[in-house]
Amino acid sequence: MTGTMSATILILNGPNLNLLGSREPDVYGSETLAEIEASCRDHAKGLGLEIDFCQSNDEGEMVNIIQEAQTGCAGLIINAGAFTHTSVAILDALLALEQPVVEVHLSNLFQRESFRHHSFVSQAARGMICGFRGQGYVLALDALARILKDKNEA
Ligand code: DQA
C-alpha cells in the first residue's frame, strides 16, 4: 500500500440477509443490513479502510463477485448465509482468491441445527466470527486490518 490510497475491503452477504431486521430477530437481531453497513463504514474509516458492501440471493452472482474481488480489493468478509453449508462453488471461488478471507455469521451456528455446524466457507477462511450478531462484521474488520498490517510490515 502506498501513500494516500486506502485499501478496500469487500463485504459480501448471501441469501436472505436482505431481510435482516424483520427476519427471525430472536436469532439474527433487529439490526437491518443497511444499519450493519453503516456501522461497518463508520468503523472502517477509523481503521483507514474503504468498504464495498453488497448482498446477493444468487449463488452464481456470489461466485462472480468473489472472482471479481481478485482485482481491486485487499480482503474479503463473507457471510454466505445458507450457501455456507451447501456451496462447493463458493468454496472453490474463495480458494482461488489470493486475498485474506474472514467468515462471519450473525448467529452462533454451533447452538443451532447440526446441518449448520459444517461450513464450506471455513475451509478457505483465516477464521470465523459467529454469534455476535451485527457486531461480528465490525470484529471481522478489526481482524482483517491486523492481517493487512502484518502483511505490509512483513
Ligand atoms: C447465517 C447462518 C446460516 O445458517 C443461515 O442460513 C443464514 C444466516 C448467520 O449469519 O447466522 O442465512 O449465515
Average pLDDT over all residues of the chain: 95
The residue whose CA is least distant from atom 10 of ligand 1 is 105
Predicted TM-score (pTM) of this structure: 0.96
Domains and CATH numbers, the chain: 7-153 (3.40.50.9100)
Mean pLDDT over residues 63-75, rounded? 96
137 is annotated as an active-site residue = no
Burial class (CB in 10 A: 0-12, 13-18, 19+), 95: exposed
CB of 19 closer than 6 angstroms to any ligand 1 atom: no
In this predicted structure, the answer to whether residue 58 has a pLDDT above a threshold of 90 is yes
pLDDT tier, 124 (very low <50, low <70, confident <90, very high otherwise): very high
Cα 145 to averaged position of ligand 1 atoms, centre (Å): 24
Half-sphere exposure of 31 (CA within 13 A, CB side): 17
pLDDT tier, 118 (very low <50, low <70, confident <90, very high otherwise): very high
Q: Which three cell numbers stand for residue 142?
A: 478489526
Determine how many CB atoms are found less than 10 A away from the CB of residue 8: 15
